[in-house]
Structure 1
Amino acid sequence: MTGSTTPTRRLDEVELPAAGTWRIDPGHAEVAFVGRHFMLTKVRGRFTGVDGAVEIAENPADSKVSVTIDMASVHSGDQARDDHLRSADFFDVAAHPTATFVSGDVRWGGSRGSMTGELTIKGVTRPVTLAVDYVGYAQDPWDNHRAVFSARGRLNREDWGLTWNMPLARGGLLVSKEIDLELEVELVYAG
């Protein structure tokens, strides 16, 4: 950053990132999900191919987020499960290689807020709301300015046409419909 611009500012006694464009650092971004197997065991997965930007506005409630996720980058720790997730039963990455999130309504107070946006998976667009926390600011050894955010939410995967499942002999389903989202994102100031 040059001139008198600083990477952070104080707003209502809270340090927040300066207004401007902040790019997602794909190497330090995680879009993770948690579902249940047999309706009991937590199964975690994540997407490593994440790209996008945040336009932080002077009024944080006017900020905008745009994210693209490479659906083939899914990793859950099991190759057979990952291949199944990439198949037409779930993400159908051959026909729908990316998912997107574009923010709409942002509500902000202090270092926390909520964001409702349009999540598109397999060509289906539905709203999703995320609780967002501003974790803090750091300057890396190469003089890049970084803002770190964490977010979480819950969705019903069937709302996006992700309906594959198997009934269990004693009742219930093999894979939970409710999926928890967990996001950790480092943003780099771009101007």
Structure 2
Amino acid sequence: MNRRRYWWFGTLGAVLILGSLTGYFAIAREPSWIQKKEIQKGDKLGPLQLGKTWKVTAGSSAAVSVVSPHESLDLTFPKLSGLLKINQEDTDHIVGTVAADMTSLYSEDPAWNAKLRDWYFFNVKAYPEASFRIVKVGGFEKPLLEGEPHPLTIEGELTVRNMTQPIQFKGEIKHTGSRMELKVRCSGLENKNFGIPELLEPIYTGKNMATLEVTLILEPEDPDTSRQRQADSHNFREIGA
């Protein structure tokens, strides 16, 4: 009787130990973000949520509104690409480059589309991409919170038609779940700074002034894609290019 009881106790102990070890190894194999509790709205964000390479994905776009004293014209660039790194603890905070496919530009007036793409204005055949490289970011003095818009300023270099000018954006960034949304705006741009003639007739002394608004939908880059990109030293999308 005692021998049978000891046998049952021994079997039960072995099962419990085996179960514990199986659970431990299963948890240890899971990514670290699964082991952490799900972040809630208003929680402080840290390297676990932000310390990734973020790619510009579908839904991102840039829009330019041009005004003269008597007219206005709206342009849209629906195809953007690029990579960003976000690290709240780093002095640079955000680094990266975003590019716009200039061949995708259009306006609501079909008569303008061919003219805008032609050599006289954007000359998209010779300059199929425009790019913006981030140089400095402000506004990270306060922590980012999950689901809450966070105001910031971004300074960088905008290159259009192979001409580069420093510009500054103001806007906000928001982290929700597994993605980021960055919305920024820059006013007071002048076409001539990029070698582009006035799009609208500047009656008398009036100038064309442009406002650029950019919306970036960011998602973490796939690890396999990241490894392949890093192996390709000629890839334009390299961060900070």
TM-score range, shorter chain: 0.7 to 0.9
In the alignment, structure 2 segments of 5+ residues that lack a partner are: 1-29, 143-149, 224-241
Alignment of 1:32-181 (within 5 A): 32-36=63-67, 39-59=69-89, 61-62=91-92, 63-109=94-140, 110=142, 111-138=150-177, 145-154=178-187, 155-164=189-198, 167=201, 171-172=204-205, 176-181=207-212
Percent identity over the alignment? 21
CA deviation map 1:165-190 (0-9, x unaligned): 5656x6355xx521001111110012
Give the TM-score, by structure 1 length: 0.80
Distance across 1 between alignment mates of 2:72 and 2:44: 36
Kept in 1, the 8 Å contact 2:200–2:208? The answer is: no
Larger Rg: 2
* Local SS of the residue matching 2:60: strand
Distance across 2 between alignment mates of 1:132 and 1:70: 22
**Aligned residue pairs: how many?**
178
Kept in 2, the 8 Å contact 1:158–1:177? The answer is: no
In the alignment, structure 1 segments of 5+ residues that lack a partner are: 139-144
Kept in 2, the 8 Å contact 1:34–1:181? The answer is: yes
Change (3 A) 1:43 1:29: same
* Local SS of the residue matching 1:85: helix
Higher relative contact order (CA 8 A, sep 6+): 1
Kept in 2, the 8 Å contact 1:9–1:18? The answer is: no
1:48 shift after superposition:
1.2
* Local SS of the residue matching 1:28: coil
Distance across 2 between alignment mates of 1:115 and 1:90: 27
* Local SS of the residue matching 2:125: coil
1:76 shift after superposition:
1.0
* Local SS of the residue matching 1:101: strand
CA deviation map 1:20-75 (0-9, x unaligned): 211000x2101011112x52344221101210011112436511121111111001
| Large movers: runs of 4+ above 6 Å | none
Which structure's residues are more often strand, by fraction? 1
Give the TM-score, by structure 2 length: 0.65
Change (3 A) 1:104 1:98: same
Change (3 A) 1:72 1:108: same
